[in-house]
Amino acid sequence: MESKSPPRCPSSVTVRRNPYRKARATPLTNPPQLPSHSTSSSKLPPISSFPIQDILSEEIPQNAPPTVTVTAASQSRSQDSIAENLRVYLRIRPLVPLKGSTKNVGDQNPSSRTKNVWPQNPSKKDSVREKKNSKKKNNESCVTVSEDCHSVTLSPPLPLQESKRIKSEVYEGFSYVFSADSTQSEVYEKMVNPLVEDFLKGKSGMLAALGPTGSGKTHTVFGSAREPGMVPLALQRIFKPAPACSSQSSRRFYLSIFEICAERGKAERICDLTSDGQDLSMQQSAIKGLQEVLVHDVAGAEQLIGRALLKRSTAMTNANSQSSRSQCIINIRRGIDSSDAETDEQSNSTVLSIVDLAGAEREKRTGSQGTRLAESNFINNTSMVFGLCLRSLLEHQKKPKKALQKHFQNSLLTRYLRDYLEGKKRMTLILTVKPGEEDYLDASYLLRQASPFMKIKFTNIEAQSNLLCNKRQFQTTFRAEQPKRIKLGSRDASMIEGKIARDENRLHDEEDLRICNAKFKNCTPLNLNSDNLMKRERNHQIMQNFAKALWSVLKQHNEKLKVAESEIQILKENLRNEKTRSIEMEKELNNLRSFCTCSKENSVASTIVKVGENFESTVHSEGHTFCSFDETKPVLDSSNRINSECSSCLRICDSTPGEDHRNVKVLSPNCNCSPENGDLVRRQQQDMSSQILSHKTSSNLSGLECIDDKQEPDALVRSSEADVSSPSICVSNENCQIFQIHESFPGTGNIHEDSSESNYVVAEHLDPKSDVKVSTSGNDSSASVEPGQQLGEKNEDLLDLLVSPKEVKHTQQQDLTYVPETEIRPDTSCNSSRKEKPKRRLLPASSILVREISTLDADEFDKPRGDGVGNKLAASERQRTQGSISLLRLLKSNLHSLV
Ligand SMILES: Nc1ncnc2c1ncn2[C@@H]1O[C@H](COP(=O)(O)OP(=O)(O)OP(=O)(O)O)[C@@H](O)[C@H]1O
Instruction: Say what the pLDDT of residue 69 is.
Output: 32
Average pLDDT over residues 644-666: 40
Query: How many Å apart are CA 96 and CA 216, to the nearest integer?
Result: 12
Q: Is 610 annotated as a binding residue?
A: no
Closest CA to 713 of 693, 727, 694: 693
Question: Which residue did the predictor score with more confidence, 32 or 593?
Answer: 593
Q: Is 214 annotated as a binding residue?
A: yes
Task: Kindly give, in sequence order, each residue whose CB lies less than 8 Å from that of residue 614, ignoring residues fewer than 6 positions away.
Answer: 638, 639, 641, 657
For residue 219, how far is its CA from the centre of ligand 1 (angstroms)? 5
Average pLDDT over residues 168-184: 87
Q: Is 203 annotated as a binding residue?
A: no
Bridging pattern class, strands 456-458 and 169-171: antiparallel
Q: What is the pLDDT of residues 618-640, one digit of tens each?
A: 334 343 434 334 443 443 343 34
- Ligand 1 atom with the smallest distance to the CA of 317 is 26
For the cut 60, the answer to whether the pLDDT of residue 685 exceeds it is no
Average pLDDT over residues 211-233: 90
pLDDT class of 50 with cuts at 50, 70, 90: low
ipTM above 0.95, yes or no: yes
For the cut 90, the answer to whether the pLDDT of residue 805 exceeds it is no
The runs of H, that is alpha helices, within 43-95 are: 52-57, 72-85
Share of the chain above pLDDT 90, in %: 11
What one-character-per-residue DSSP string does 188-241 give? IIIIIHHHHHHHHTT--EEEEEE-BTTSSHHHHHTB-SSSB-HHHHHHHHHTSP
Average pLDDT over residues 166-177: 84
Q: Mean pLDDT highest for which of 328-342, 395-409, 818-832?
A: 328-342
Q: Is 215 annotated as a binding residue?
A: yes
Query: How many Å apart are CA 415 and CA 282, to the nearest integer?
Result: 9
Q: What is the pLDDT of residues 843-865, one digit of tens each?
A: 555 454 445 444 444 444 444 44
Instruction: Say what the pLDDT of residue 394 is.
Output: 60
How many CB atoms within 10 Å of residue 3? 15
Residue pair 326/259 in contact (Cβ under 8 Å)? The answer is yes
Mutate to test the pocket of ligand 1, among 89, 93, 445 (most ligand atoms within 8 A of CB): 93
Write the CA distances from 665 to 156, 496, 618, 728, integer angstroms.
108, 115, 15, 9
Ligand 1 site: residues with CB under 6 angstroms? 93-94, 97-98, 101-103, 122, 211, 213-219, 320, 322-324, 358-359, 432
Query: How many Å apart are CA 527 and CA 321, to the nearest integer?
Result: 56
Q: What is the pLDDT of residues 502-555, one digit of tens each?
A: 444 344 444 544 554 454 444 444 444 566 777 888 888 889 889 999 999 999
Q: How much is the mean pLDDT over the chain?
A: 61
For the cut 70, the answer to whether the pLDDT of residue 238 exceeds it is yes
Query: How many Å apart are CA 319 and CA 436, to the nearest integer?
Result: 12
Instruction: Say what the pLDDT of residue 247 is.
Output: 54
pLDDT class of 108 with cuts at 50, 70, 90: very low
For the cut 50, the answer to whether the pLDDT of residue 439 exceeds it is yes
For the cut 50, the answer to whether the pLDDT of residue 388 exceeds it is yes
Q: Mean pLDDT highest for which of 410-414, 510-514, 669-673?
A: 410-414
For residue 218, how far is its CA from the centre of ligand 1 (angstroms)? 6
Average pLDDT over residues 722-726: 40
Question: Which residue did the predictor score with more confidence, 748 or 895?
Answer: 895
Q: Which residues pair with 86 in a beta bridge?
A: 427
DSSP, res 824:
P
Q: Is 212 annotated as a binding residue?
A: yes
Instruction: Say what the pLDDT of residue 401 is.
Output: 58
Closest CA to 116 of 322, 306, 329: 306
Query: How many Å apart are CA 562 and CA 881, to the nearest integer?
Result: 62
For the cut 70, the answer to whether the pLDDT of residue 127 exceeds it is no
For residue 94, how far is its CA from the centre of ligand 1 (angstroms)? 9
What are the E-state strand segments in 394-541? Answer: 426-433, 456-458
Question: Which residue did the predictor score with more confidence, 859 or 425?
Answer: 425
Q: What is the 3-state secondary structure (H, E, C) of 633-690?
A: ECCCCCCCCEECCCCCCCCCCCECCCCCEECCCCECCCCCCCHHHHHHHHHHHHHHHH
For residue 97, how far is its CA from the centre of ligand 1 (angstroms)? 8
How far the first Cα of the chain sits from its last, in Å, is: 156
Instruction: Say what the pLDDT of residue 233 is.
Output: 93
- Ligand 1 atom with the smallest distance to the CA of 103 is 31
For the cut 60, the answer to whether the pLDDT of residue 574 exceeds it is yes
